[in-house]
Amino acid sequence: MNTIKVNYNNMLSRVLGSQGITDKQIESIVPALQQARLNVENNRGQGMQGWMDSPYNQDKAVQDILKTAKDVQSRCDAFVVLGIGGSALGATALFNAFKHLYYNELPRKTRKYPRLYVIDNVDPERMNALFDVIDVENTVFNVITKSGSTSETMSQYLIITDILERKLGAKAKDNIIATTSASKGNLIKLAKEKGYTTFYIDEGVGGRFSVLSPVGLLPAAVIGIDIAKLLEGAREMDEKCKNAEVMQNPALVSAGLQYIAMKQGKNISVMMPYADSLKYFADWYAQLWAESLGKEVDKNGKLVNAGQTPVKALGVTDQHSQVQLYNEGPFDKVITFIEVKNFRSDVTIPNGCKEYPNVNFLCGHSLSELINNELFATRYNLTRRGRMNYTIEMDEINECNIGALIELLQLQTAYAGELLNIDAYNQPGVEGGKDATYALFGRVGYEDKAAEMEKAPADDNNYII
């Protein structure tokens, strides 16, 4: 059973004073919150809300994933994910959450499973660096793109298949696994033509909501993460969030508080886990929150320029880089802390420096005490200064808790989209950049975009120094 709880005391006026949210403000949006939950529930499994079925409908997929993972584990030293955005961030977050923080540097007999690399960019130096640390003949590549036309991923695919086919010939297909749409796009056609092992992304599951689909589950299974437990935790949280009582539904109440905060000008959302293992959950959350809620128009076509800018931070590291701003800068932020009460290992600070009392006071305490006391102190100091913050608490990092955390944040995002009356599942701002890139490369069908770009004013050299 998961232990995820949302502690939102430090969002409220009874704690923060004039900067906090009043009971009256919460009561005023209860009807909107109930309608938001109802809208999300009524569309469960429909359109782009197929992700809501992911914790429930993947028994067969899980069996196939585990079978493939066992095969990969038996015959390769490295597993490489080729993807970008939602096709990469979830896998990275899960990898970092569960595996040794220097996992890829451990000997095989210690780590037991293949090394994992997630290549989510097209920086040529990064691609070449990968080839310096893997043997491509002893590596399985998981190409992930639902459309099969993602320029970054398909360019990586072309590079890898060229190398593999030159080295392995017809056997190259054994080193590639495709994760894509079952019915459309280029990758499914290539997979069928070349005979790749293939996993499917449901048409109603968008990239940023895909971590609990084969997109995230296959890489997780290959490195020994219990994906059945991940889904179990997600189910538990989903069932909890079916509660129509606003104050008993953690995703709904947190969405409501963020919505009120946005209306008060809190247009920055800081995600700050106090555990290195959860560092990349802030990256995953940043895409989920930004791409879902950052919309120019609402569902009625009204110009709204909605959204809240996500910022990634890590406790305690960013106490020494960002927290000064959070304490004394503009009142434009909501800080979400993630607290882990019990770490999987600990270190006791040994006795020493007796002649220096301002150092010696630490002796005999543990690093887990230090990190959690620093979280408490940071939270306390922000609160006494009237800065909105709330904490997602868990007793430990395990698959059930992380599955629940994923579902909590996905549901919070869906509810927030309803409150803002925007489409949380489209991404027209992303598509504009994609179209411009296609035009620059002379892709057929983008001639009008190329002509439009030709008319753009050139940079003035007077302003380049």
Token reading at 163: 């190398």
pLDDT surpasses 90 at 433 = no
Max Cα-Cα span within the chain:
75
- Is 155:122 a contact under the CB 8 Å cutoff? yes
What is the pLDDT, as a whole number, of residue 432? 83
Q: What is the pTM of this model?
A: 0.96
pLDDT surpasses 90 at 419 = yes
What is the pLDDT, as a whole number, of residue 362? 95
Residue 74: pLDDT band (50, 70, 90) is: very high
What is the pLDDT, as a whole number, of residue 30? 97
Residue 329: pLDDT band (50, 70, 90) is: very high
Residue entry with tokens 């882990």 = 340
pLDDT surpasses 90 at 149 = no
What is the pLDDT, as a whole number, of residue 296? 97
pLDDT surpasses 90 at 318 = yes
Closest CA to 288 of 220, 215, 206: 206
Q: What is the pLDDT of residues 80-93, one digit of tens each?
A: 999 999 999 999 99
Q: Point out the catalytic residue in the list 291, 339, 399, 407.
A: 291
What is the tally of helices (H) and strands (E) in the chain? 18, 12
What is the pLDDT, as a whole number, of residue 315? 97
What is the pLDDT, as a whole number, of residue 439? 84
- Is 126:80 a contact under the CB 8 Å cutoff? no
pLDDT surpasses 90 at 341 = yes
- Is 287:350 a contact under the CB 8 Å cutoff? no
Closest CA to 288 of 308, 274, 313, 306: 308
Active site residue 320: yes
What is the pLDDT, as a whole number, of residue 283? 97
Q: Point out the catalytic residue in the list 41, 369, 393, 434.
A: 434
pLDDT surpasses 90 at 434 = no
Q: Point out the catalytic residue in the list 60, 320, 354, 455.
A: 320
pLDDT surpasses 90 at 145 = yes
What is the pLDDT, as a whole number, of residue 118? 98
Overall average pLDDT of the 35-53 stretch: 97
pLDDT surpasses 90 at 127 = yes
What is the pLDDT, as a whole number, of residue 10? 98
Residue 99: pLDDT band (50, 70, 90) is: very high
pLDDT surpasses 90 at 430 = no
Task: Calculate ∠ Cα 362-365-366, nearest 5°.
Answer: 115
Q: Which amino acid is at 145?
A: T
Overall average pLDDT of the 171-194 stretch: 96
Active site residue 291: yes
Residue 225: CB atoms within 10 Å: 22
Active site residue 434: yes
What is the pLDDT, as a whole number, of residue 121? 95
Residue 320: pLDDT band (50, 70, 90) is: very high
Overall average pLDDT of the 113-125 stretch: 97
Residue 431: pLDDT band (50, 70, 90) is: confident
Overall average pLDDT of the 331-336 stretch: 98
pLDDT surpasses 90 at 244 = yes
Residue 453: pLDDT band (50, 70, 90) is: confident
What is the pLDDT, as a whole number, of residue 213? 98
Overall average pLDDT of the 135-144 stretch: 98
